[in-house]
Structure 1
């Protein structure tokens, strides 16, 4: 499942400039989809506010917009790394290669990472999550 959603992202650390450039284009498109879906979700949140909290979160249009936003997040970085299951051991998690990819990308291409994918909060959270598991 992870490879289907984010397998392409390993090209972000490729030595081949053409492969890395293609992956950057794909990342930009994925991030655009996340932003668009977030905008739609926020719009539906605003439009359904008069219903009250309980009804709002049962409103099909709002639920669908939230679902599309979450789906878009799963296919992008760093969003796809968020919301791991509570209590998940990062050392055995199927997301571990993608966490390491995210961190490795900064190490190999810091200017590119800062320009296209900077997410200090995600980085901090991932490092702390991994460090908690070290005996």
Structure 2
């Protein structure tokens, strides 16, 4: 089963890190990534740009584009991982490992629906 591990943090805190602090954190996170790649459990991962450069499309019809995401929380979605594990518990274990590398982040784990050409829609079992 595929799961998304969504990484949340306060952008102001992340922006306050020096290049060296950010590089050290990324080194720790990449150690987790490398292990998950070796185990063939890691799919796409991305670090998202700042919310101040984001826009949201909402409304009826064609919709309108408005500035930024408007979350009602202090944390913003800053990145995500797509992982492939047989159980939610295994995906949570991977998120805990990421949290050990970045203990001030919040991680949300969700099942992912893959929409692949020629297959029925819905949650895709894998492995």
The TM-score range, normalised by the shorter chain, is under 0.3
Where relative contact order (Cα < 8 A, 6+ residues apart) is larger, the structure is 2
| TM-score, normalising length: structure 1 | 0.25
TM-score (norm 2): 0.27
Query: Greater share of strand residues, 1 or 2?
Result: 2
